Amino acid sequence: MAALLLSSAAIVAPACAQPQSTRQTTAEPRATIDLSTGWRFHSGDADAGPAAPSFDDAAWQPVSVPHTWNKVGTYAVTRAADADMRQGLGWYRRSLTVPAALNGRRLFLEFDGVSKIADVWVNGTHVGRHAGAFARFRIDVTGALKPGANSLAVRADNSASAPGSSTEHVIPLGGDFFVQGGIYRGVRLVAVEDAHIDLADHGGPGVYLHTPKVSAERAEVAAKTLLRNLGTRARTLTLTTTIQDATGKPVATDRVPAALAPGQALAVERGLTLASPHLWQGRADPYLYRVVSELRDGARVIDRQVQPLGIRSFAFDPNRGLILNGKPTPLHGVSRHQDVGGKGWALTPEDHARDMALALELGANTIRHAHYQHAQEWTDEADKAGMVVWAELPFVHEANVEPSLPPAPETIANAEEQLRELIHQNYNHPSILLWSVGNEADIGAAIDAMRKGSGKPAQSRSMLERLDRLARAEDPSRLTVYADCCEDTPSILSMQGAPSLNGVTQVMGLNRYYGWYYGDLDGVGPALDALHAKHPALPIGLSEWGAGGAMTQHSDNPRGGPVAAYGRPQPEEYQSLAIEENWKQIRARPYLSASWLWNLFDFATTMRNEGDATDINTKGLVSYDRKTRKDAFYFLQASWSDAPVLHLNGRRYVDRAYAVTDVRGYSNADRVSLSVNGKPVGEVACPDRICVWPGVALAPGANHLVATANIGGKQVTDALDWNAPNPRKGVFIDSGALVGGTMGGDRYGSDDFFRGGTAKVLAGRSPFAPPPKVEGTDSPALFGSYREGKFGYDIPLPDGSWTVNIASFEPDAAKGAARSFAVLADGKRVIEAFSPLQAAGGVNKAVTRSFQVKSSGGRLVLAFEPVGGDAVVAGIAIRPN
């Protein structure tokens, strides 16, 4: 509590250079002065010198808040020159003029978010500290401010959490997101009378509403209002609570006397009843009442607080999912981080509204707040939109900066305070149904052990249990949830001996990445079924799933090679495939309470150099700057939304590697037609919202593709433009590769046209270790992947005479001595028993073999048949004779 309501008796004469620049709202009963402008910023300075009123800040940078000094993330394979990764101290200063009209009022500074630790000085006097990057906090500065000019200084600290650091005990201690520094949410001065609706309750509104009994006939509304008298005289007041409908019409009113002695805090609990209530029914009908709480001295209103009210009942059933107002309500949605490219965490209300509009466009009906408390403006948008919200505490990855050690008492205390702030500040949002008390709280120890080669499991369970008990006590009307990473998964981060963290909370969240970090694309369904059987009494939600999608990396066949989940490449087409295959399994399991795809937007992190980006997690459906919707966005929109959807995939893969390709798209139409350069290709059905035109021939050069469909009686079209190569100049295939490239002057496509075999990459000892190098070639990238086994290729090829060049090598010394294989072209054996090891003279040494063929019927069929072991092919080059 001390961090939320602190006062100072010292008054120091101000001497700030900044001009007063505020927007005032001083109408009765509660007055506010917006403090967005007029700030100066400077990075550094560990001492408190800049807090002095006489400090000269003329050389500091003029800024407005919201503001962050960090700039993280770029779509490039090297870090941007203007990237700002600084973690440490940042100072803010401004002058503050207190109008004479506020004389005699209690004055509070209200900060919506300062990261990660905030220290605040008024007129040179330290008036308060807040530890936690995501919650609103208030400081009573009545005794520190004086009428007229004052100086205000704020020191923000986003130092990295490490042993002995200032943030060692301030959660989050880890996580795959960058904790940006600054006053990144709004700031204001709030003036109230000595007797008021309490401002000292963990940053909360002082009015707390819930609906203990709801039916179609009536709803009982419980209203708890906290009052406080900071004056020196007793007050006899009246508290009036009015429920207004969406038009502002009063529909229920309660009045109760409230006697407050000097210094007294009082909780007033009242019940109101609504007949035939209009229920908050999620996206279907997000109806909102509002509750106006007024504290009166006779006829005069001395304080007022207005809060949203959504009347709903809900339950999470282990077998049927969410039951909202008695109706089973399947939930499908996304997680969201709060940063935007070019702005970081310093978002405006317009930014929040735009983000919610994109979630609605997608067709989502639930949002997970990753991995911390989000801005009130964002959750207001969720209330209005009818989103069901999972709100989360930033207990992420680890409970101690030494991940295998138990949490320190100071860390537990900080986490508990941040949890109280989360619940109190968001209590009245009807959209929130779940309080998450943690995310992957044991994975930090597993990551640490993997990097060091050994280590002990985390000791996070006791802290998680403590936080769960606190959340249930603070708000019995909602359920608790935790997001588990690793139980019963084949993940490299699933540590032997680590205790299960599932079963602590009332709902079980599962972060599962089958077909991405581990397992096969069809693995998520059986894994969920197994855990549902193991924990039959627990409602289950799939709290994370998805895959990365690099917008400038593309695959001709996303099944052609392994994805580099920890590195590069991560083509956009693979993201689409992974989401398609996972969603088919998710939707078939009605026991799932919800699923939240990770993530709605790409976001900043310094843990990743992946896909086509640096310091960005590319699992978003929409780009970091919100300008580009990836192909997978439209698949989910076609699956989730009622709006007409027709989208052709691959518009960013303009310069194609092959002249014959499958054309794919997404639609909620029954059938879709395609034309290329004005010529009809055909009409196809779109099962599972996926439309495929196989083996479409493109003309050399420019191609214009148009898809058309009738959806709900309306003609809908989509179009894109591709450039295709001239196949008479050759066909080049990078076997086993998910993404092609130019090698030796030739443009290779990714692995395609294959049948059978297994695609593999030449890998290091761990996902983070570099792979071995293949010698004897000027195109080493071609040998970074290969296809192994018994397999063939059915390659579209114009009729004519060709030279076929097969690139191979021996990747495995244990198999090399016995390995040999034959090559057949159109059924004729052209290479007998070929041993890459013998031909190259060693392991990881390039070797090639060539032969002549004549193609007919527009195709060439190659077969690679084991003789003494599996065939290995790294690339196929077909050139005209």
What does the pLDDT look like over 678-716, one tens digit per residue?
Answer: 999 999 999 999 999 999 999 999 999 999 999 999 999
| Structural domain includes residue 3 | no
| Structural domain includes residue 682 | yes
Q: What pLDDT is recorded for position 21?
A: 42
Enter the pTM of the model: 0.94
Rounded Cα distance between 231 and 499, Å, is: 52
Query: Are 540 and 679 members of one domain?
Result: no
Query: Are 526 and 631 members of one domain?
Result: yes
- Residue 11 predicted with pLDDT over 70: no
Which residues, in sequence order, are CB contacts of 378 under 8 Å at separation 6+?
338, 352, 355, 356, 369
Residue closest to 70 by CA, chosen among 46, 97, 43:
43
Give the model's confidence band at 352: pLDDT under 50 very low, under 70 low, under 90 confident, else very high: very high
- Residue 109 predicted with pLDDT over 90: yes
Q: What pLDDT is recorded for position 14?
A: 29
Average pLDDT over residues 516-526: 96
Q: What pLDDT is recorded for position 254?
A: 98
Element housing 448 (H / E): helix 443-452
Average pLDDT over residues 558-577: 96
Q: Which residue has the tokens 């037609």?
A: 673
In contact, 652 and 633? CB cutoff 8 Å? no
| Structural domain includes residue 717 | yes
Residue 805: beta bridge partners?
850, 877
- Residue 503 predicted with pLDDT over 70: yes
Q: What pLDDT is recorded for position 469?
A: 98
Residue 97: beta bridge partners?
149
Q: What pLDDT is recorded for position 449?
A: 87
Number of structural domains in the chain: 5
Query: Are 771 and 626 members of one domain?
Result: no
Query: Are 513 and 620 members of one domain?
Result: yes
> Average per-residue pLDDT in the chain?
94
Rounded Cα distance between 844 and 773, Å, is: 7
Query: Is residue 683 annotated as part of the catalytic site, yes or no?
Result: no
Average pLDDT over residues 216-233: 97
Query: Are 410 and 540 members of one domain?
Result: yes
Give the model's confidence band at 451: pLDDT under 50 very low, under 70 low, under 90 confident, else very high: confident
- Of the residues 168, 381, 440, 580, only one is catalytic, namely 440
Query: Are 113 and 177 members of one domain?
Result: yes
Could you tell me the two tokens for 276? 């035939």
| Structural domain includes residue 10 | no
Q: What pLDDT is recorded for position 765?
A: 62
**Percent of the chain at pLDDT exceeding 70:** 96
Which CATH number covers residue 784?
A: 2.60.120.430
Query: Are 326 and 262 members of one domain?
Result: no
Q: What pLDDT is recorded for position 766?
A: 63
Q: What is the pLDDT of residues 243-270, one digit of tens each?
A: 999 999 999 999 999 999 999 999 999 9
Query: Are 632 and 673 members of one domain?
Result: no
Element housing 368 (H / E): strand 366-369
| Structural domain includes residue 566 | yes
Query: Are 246 and 387 members of one domain?
Result: no
| Structural domain includes residue 16 | no
Q: What pLDDT is recorded for position 22?
A: 44
Q: What pLDDT is recorded for position 19?
A: 40
Give the model's confidence band at 767: pLDDT under 50 very low, under 70 low, under 90 confident, else very high: low
In contact, 541 and 507? CB cutoff 8 Å? yes
Instruction: Report residue 570: phi and psi, to 5°.
Output: -140, 75
The domain containing residue 554 runs over which residues?
314-643
| Structural domain includes residue 834 | yes
Q: What pLDDT is recorded for position 491?
A: 86
End residue of a domain, out of 699, 724, 749: 724
Q: What is the pLDDT of residues 172-206, one digit of tens each?
A: 999 999 999 999 999 999 999 999 999 999 999 99
Which CATH number covers residue 63?
A: 2.60.120.260
- Residue 15 predicted with pLDDT over 70: no
Query: Are 304 and 323 members of one domain?
Result: no
Rounded Cα distance between 502 and 535, Å, is: 8
End residue of a domain, out of 144, 174, 197: 197
Q: What pLDDT is recorded for position 27?
A: 55
Query: Are 630 and 679 members of one domain?
Result: no
Average pLDDT over residues 807-814: 95
Q: What pLDDT is recorded for position 274?
A: 97
End residue of a domain, out of 294, 309, 324: 309
Instruction: Report residue 214: phi and psi, to 5°.
Output: -135, 130
Query: Are 719 and 732 members of one domain?
Result: no
Q: What pLDDT is recorded for position 5?
A: 34
- Residue 9 predicted with pLDDT over 70: no
Which CATH number covers residue 672?
A: 2.60.40.10
| Structural domain includes residue 648 | no
Give the model's confidence band at 771: pLDDT under 50 very low, under 70 low, under 90 confident, else very high: confident
**Percent of the chain at pLDDT exceeding 90:** 92
Could you tell me the two tokens for 723? 């450039």
In contact, 286 and 248? CB cutoff 8 Å? no
Could you tell me the two tokens for 844? 């990881």
Rounded Cα distance between 692 and 683, Å, is: 10
- Residue 322 predicted with pLDDT over 80: yes
Average pLDDT over residues 375-394: 98
Rounded Cα distance between 699 and 702, Å, is: 7
Phi-psi region of 344 (alpha: psi -120 to 50; beta: other; left: phi over 0): left
